[in-house]
Structure 1
Amino acid sequence: MSQYKKSSLSLGNAVAMGTGVMIGAAIFALLGQIAELSGEYFALAVVMGGIISGFSAYSYIKMAHAYPSAGGIAMFLQKAYGKGTITAFAALLMAFSMVLNESLVARTFGTYTMQLFEGSENSFWVPVLGVGLLVGAFIVNILGNEVIGKTAMTTATIKIGGILIFALGALWAADFTVGSALPSTAPENGVMEYLASLALAILAYKGFTTITNSGGEIKEPHKNVGRAIIWSLVLCGVVYFITALAVGANLEIPQIIEAKDYALAEAARPLYGNYGLWFTVGIAIVATITGVIFSIFAVSRMTAMLTNMKLIPHSHFGMPGNIQQHMLVYITVLAIALTVLFDLSGIAAMGAIFYLIMDIIIHVGVLRHMKEKVKANPVIVITAIVLDAIVLIGFVWVRAQTNLTVIIVSAALIAVIFFGEKLFLKNTKQEDQDEMRDSQKSNDEKHN
């Protein structure tokens, strides 16, 4: 497989890829966690997460129109900050958040699959099944993006159609009315908890960035990357909102929280019995499988671009193949480790923190260095920065009180990435200078 294949993905394929990553785990794994933090307002939190993501998407769309690339975010950062520590640091934060998303999807796959056997979300088989999914996704990606493109549209249709069948059927069976969707009581949780729920809701939409990371493969990228992002956000927003209403119409908040890792499957039980459970789990399996495949596809492209830009270290360890194939191996191994070591809540927390920090860096870069070049409206960009910052502060505050270990691990990883990149780039610069000096010395000796 060649490293990049220009114009190998249509607009429809790109939309399917974006929705494939977003619906890969978000609606299945994060809905319960969002409800745990926002209570009866969890459907509103899902909508607000989409709105905030819409503001964030503005910077990406503007940059993608000007600089479509198979490296996507890596290229955007390089244009804004140059080939330096900030670019490498932020790009790696994005890459790590995507790998964390793959682990989230993998564990969701295991959790929902175990519902077929009435297994616990804490079962030994959950990470085992997740690891199996990651290995399978690796194999599919090795086969090439033609396979991904051919399956993207079909699987996206199955996922969206299946979830809508579940949601609309659940709303009909529950005699849903618009009035019943409105919260009946004052918020029980505080403002910080609600802000924390928005961080997870935003994480549910971050799959739109997958499209920018495959910009070089999309046909007519100057216009289709932006269109694909908008369509993906709109489609997922509608699906998420209707599904949240359906779950809320059939389960009380305590029930959603108790089954937070498999809330949709639990919501199907009282309505359709085992048939509903099997149907929902089947859709979850399709969604998680394709979510992992598309995510690995995108992050391998971005990290390959970073390697080619000499912003991250690389070693082939004797493996055959090109850089992109090597990155597939490293990404899969890292995702497997995270799947085994952390639960869904921990993975989601780290992913949200990494993503929001990276997102803020992107917006600051556009605002300070690129707004004239890409014709960005500074008011929209500043709004995106403020919203991200408020949500990030609220999320870290809440998680520090409930799971301080995750915050410490996240901070440690962020520090390692930043200072590791700083050291690597310093050494690389010194090596380049030494090489230039040796070359100049050799030329001088020849002339003498």
Structure 2
Amino acid sequence: MEDYKKNSISLIGAVGLGTGVMISAGIFALLGQVAELAGSWFPLIFIIGGIVTAFSAYSYVKLSNEFPSAGGIGMFLVKAYGKGTITASAALLMAFSMVINQSLVARTFGTYTLQLFDGQQSSYFVPLLGVGLLTVAFLINISGNSFIQSFTSIASLLKITGLSIFAIAGLWVAGFSFTPANGGGDVSDPSFIQYIAAVALTILAFKGFTTITNSGSEIVKPKKNVGRAIMISISISLLIYLLLAWAVSSNLSLPGIIEAKDYALAEAAKPAFGNYGLWLTVAIAILATISGIIASVFAVSRMLAMLTDMKLIPHKHFGMPGNIQKHTLVYTIVIAMALTIFFDLSRIASMGAILYLVMDIIVHWGVLKHLREKVGANIFIVASALVFDAVVLGAFVWVKATSDLLVVGVSILFIAIIFVGERFFLKNTA
């Protein structure tokens, strides 16, 4: 496609895109939710999530090495399943999970920004601020690859530095104590299935590495650098997540973390640093969410454009000027805005985790069943990734079904509509 510029993204730029997406919603919005499910030892759940993600990333690295493409996951699915319903549906699940992530980041931006004003009138201003951020992301994405990779790389470096300073300072104030957060009488011990379910949210925190695969053919020396960028991004994010999780655990009680679920990091800054710490944390959160959403919009709009070019998804111009990629950029932003307005952080995260894990299972099965020899994949690693995903997804759906059946029902209905709709579309356009 004319919109994809070969060698337009460097290794550092690719790492910036990956960490830009991961270190945004991942730590700011999900830390409190992971603690709510996993209890006092929630920092360790991020390690497990990182391990599971590393197994999962193996399939994507092998696929990227063999089929570097700006279509990323969409192209991988075509190679595994052909241009049919499974490919189109799974690719859309990936795209929508990324759009859901954008709304998660947008609401996180609003939630943290309001901490500067004591969070007042958050029910109204959180979605308003989120929509404003999505508008800015749209305008920046029109500017092209060069500006995006430069901005996300610089923003990623700044937020990683800032978060590292915050985490180390927070641990220093607590005497570098790595003991778990104090519980309380009102907080019950998690069950084993809740621990497993919590891993699903940490996987969502790491899923930003797929942003790199969606820009495969645009990265310099993709067969060499896509895999490197993915593993570097995951490693950097895991280190930051662990430092921050322990810093929060050391400065807040477990009930305090759960109560401040959507802005736990900002709350943890208060006892350690007072208002200065709060301002610093909010500033980093704003920077992190801005870079994260720009990188995510960049990736998903290109993937949808590729699927449209392959005639796997329907497309209407609605009288808009410009090329298909600009149109998919508009669709991406509009859907993300709707989710930002109508859903809260917890439900957005839950839907994103379910859709992503279903898509991930389909990718691993495709590698295991159809592409193992072609890409030279290790059967044990791919099979392990498949089993890990299935177990985590099952546990997460079970826990959510007992606490929020609506989000499970909506997710299942949404998946069914995608598969049925794609089947109908492809049948009538063949």
**What's the TM-score once normalised by structure 1's chain length?**
0.94
The answer on 1:3 being equivalent to 2:3 is yes
Q: Distance in 2 between matches of 1:428 and 1:112?
A: 46
Show the counterpart of 1:17.
17
Show the counterpart of 1:29.
29
Q: Distance in 2 between matches of 1:12 and 1:396?
A: 37
- Contact 2:177-2:250 at 8 Å conserved across structures: no
- Equivalent residue runs for 1:160-175 within 5 Å: 160-175=160-175
Show the counterpart of 1:38.
38
1:123 CA drift (Å): 2.4
Show the counterpart of 1:277.
278
Q: Distance in 1 between matches of 2:343 and 2:289?
A: 18
- Equivalent residue runs for 1:97-136 within 5 Å: 97-120=97-120, 122-136=122-136
Show the counterpart of 1:93.
93
The answer on 1:71 being equivalent to 2:71 is yes
Q: Distance in 1 between matches of 2:137 and 2:348?
A: 19
1:187 CA drift (Å): 8.5
Q: Distance in 2 between matches of 1:405 and 1:187?
A: 24
Show the counterpart of 1:441.
none
1:192 CA drift (Å): 1.4
1:24 CA drift (Å): 1.7
- Contact 1:127-1:340 at 8 Å conserved across structures: yes
- Determine which structure has more spread, i.e. the larger CA radius of gyration: 1
Tell me whether 158-167 or 184-193 shows the greater mean CA deviation: 184-193
Q: Distance in 2 between matches of 1:262 and 1:225?
A: 33
CA 1:183–1:377: 2 relative to 1, 3 Å? farther
Deviations 1:229-276 (A, max 9, x none): 000000000000111010000011100000010000000001111100
1:184 CA drift (Å): 9.6
**In structure 1, the residue corresponding to 2:347 is in which secondary structure?**
helix
Q: Distance in 1 between matches of 2:180 and 2:12?
A: 33
Q: Distance in 1 between matches of 2:68 and 2:376?
A: 15
Deviations 1:79-124 (A, max 9, x none): 0000000000100000000000000000000000000000148420
Q: Distance in 2 between matches of 1:384 and 1:221?
A: 23
Deviations 1:314-349 (A, max 9, x none): 111111100000000000000000000100000000
- Contact 1:112-1:265 at 8 Å conserved across structures: yes
CA 1:161–1:370: 2 relative to 1, 3 Å? same
Deviations 1:113-163 (A, max 9, x none): 000000148420000000000011000001111110221221011110010
Show the counterpart of 1:444.
none
Show the counterpart of 1:157.
157
**In structure 2, the residue corresponding to 1:310 is in which secondary structure?**
coil
- Contact 2:181-2:249 at 8 Å conserved across structures: no
Deviations 1:354-408 (A, max 9, x none): 0000000000000000000000001000100110000000000010111111111
The AA in structure 2 aligned to 1:33 is: Q
The AA in structure 2 aligned to 1:347 is: I
- Contact 2:305-2:325 at 8 Å conserved across structures: yes
Show the counterpart of 1:403.
404
**In structure 2, the residue corresponding to 1:124 is in which secondary structure?**
helix
Show the counterpart of 1:438.
none
1:217 CA drift (Å): 1.0
Cα RMSD after superposing both structures: 1.6
- Contact 2:181-2:253 at 8 Å conserved across structures: no
Show the counterpart of 1:297.
298
The AA in structure 2 aligned to 1:101 is: N
Q: Distance in 2 between matches of 1:120 and 1:197?
A: 29
Show the counterpart of 2:58.
58
The AA in structure 2 aligned to 1:24 is: S
Show the counterpart of 1:240.
241
- Contact 2:20-2:153 at 8 Å conserved across structures: no
**In structure 2, the residue corresponding to 1:265 is in which secondary structure?**
helix
1:177 CA drift (Å): 3.4
Q: Unmatched 5+ residue regions in structure 2?
A: none
The answer on 1:199 being equivalent to 2:200 is yes
Q: Distance in 2 between matches of 1:112 and 1:357?
A: 30
1:181 CA drift (Å): 5.1
Q: Distance in 2 between matches of 1:286 and 1:149?
A: 15
Question: Number of matched residues?
Answer: 428
The answer on 1:81 being equivalent to 2:81 is yes
Q: Distance in 1 between matches of 2:183 and 2:32?
A: 19
Q: Distance in 2 between matches of 1:344 and 1:190?
A: 23
Q: Distance in 2 between matches of 1:161 and 1:370?
A: 40
Deviations 1:10-54 (A, max 9, x none): 000000100000012110000000000000120011110010000
**In structure 2, the residue corresponding to 1:175 is in which secondary structure?**
coil
**In structure 1, the residue corresponding to 2:30 is in which secondary structure?**
helix
- Contact 1:121-1:261 at 8 Å conserved across structures: no
**What's the TM-score once normalised by structure 2's chain length?**
0.97
- Equivalent residue runs for 1:219-368 within 5 Å: 219-368=220-369
- Contact 2:7-2:217 at 8 Å conserved across structures: yes
The AA in structure 2 aligned to 1:376 is: A
Q: Distance in 1 between matches of 2:81 and 2:20?
A: 30
Identity across matched positions, percent:
62
**In structure 2, the residue corresponding to 1:7 is in which secondary structure?**
coil
CA 1:86–1:258: 2 relative to 1, 3 Å? same
Show the counterpart of 1:389.
390
Q: Unmatched 5+ residue regions in structure 1?
A: 430-448
- Contact 1:41-1:187 at 8 Å conserved across structures: no
The answer on 1:416 being equivalent to 2:413 is no
The answer on 1:48 being equivalent to 2:48 is yes
CA 1:256–1:100: 2 relative to 1, 3 Å? same
Q: Distance in 2 between matches of 1:187 and 1:212?
A: 40
Q: Distance in 2 between matches of 1:337 and 1:181?
A: 38
